[in-house]
């Protein structure tokens, strides 16, 4: 199992958007867990308790987005990082769930 913590400095998103990003990344093939949160003290503690640790976590501020990824392989982590970049750029990377599809995305 591979784990990675990503820090996006100054990348503020509201909780609804963060839940959407977490869900979309979780649908990626090989991704076991994906959690996107702002870098508040409480959220940093929750991420650490879930096993997402590292120097970047301690440096996160409330206006920074922190993403914890747990995947089956390095390739799955790389695909999730790329999907995250697309989601944050407004690309709304398509989910890879077997059930999804017809959800309307806020604009």
Distance CA 62, CA 100 (A): 32
* pLDDT tens sequence across 30-55: 999 999 999 999 999 999 999 998 87
pTM for the structure as a whole: 0.81
CB–CB of 13/21 below 8 Å? Answer: yes
Nearest CA-CA partner of 87 in 30, 36, 31: 36
**3-class DSSP state of 67:** strand
Can you tell me the mean pLDDT for 74-78?
A: 96
């Amino acid at each position: 199992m591979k784990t990675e913590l990503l820090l996006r400095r100054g990348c503020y998103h509201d909780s609804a958007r963060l839940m959407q990003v977490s869900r979309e990344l979780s649908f990626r093939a090989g991704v076991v867990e994906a959690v996107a949160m702002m870098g508040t003290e409480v959220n940093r503690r929750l991420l650490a308790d879930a096993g997402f640790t590292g120097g970047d976590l301690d440096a996160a501020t409330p206006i920074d987005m922190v993403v914890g990824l747990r995947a089956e392989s390095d390739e799955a982590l790389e695909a999730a990082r790329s999907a995250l970049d697309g989601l944050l750029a407004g690309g709304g990377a398509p989910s890879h769930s077997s059930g999804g599809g017809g959800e309307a995305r806020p604009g």
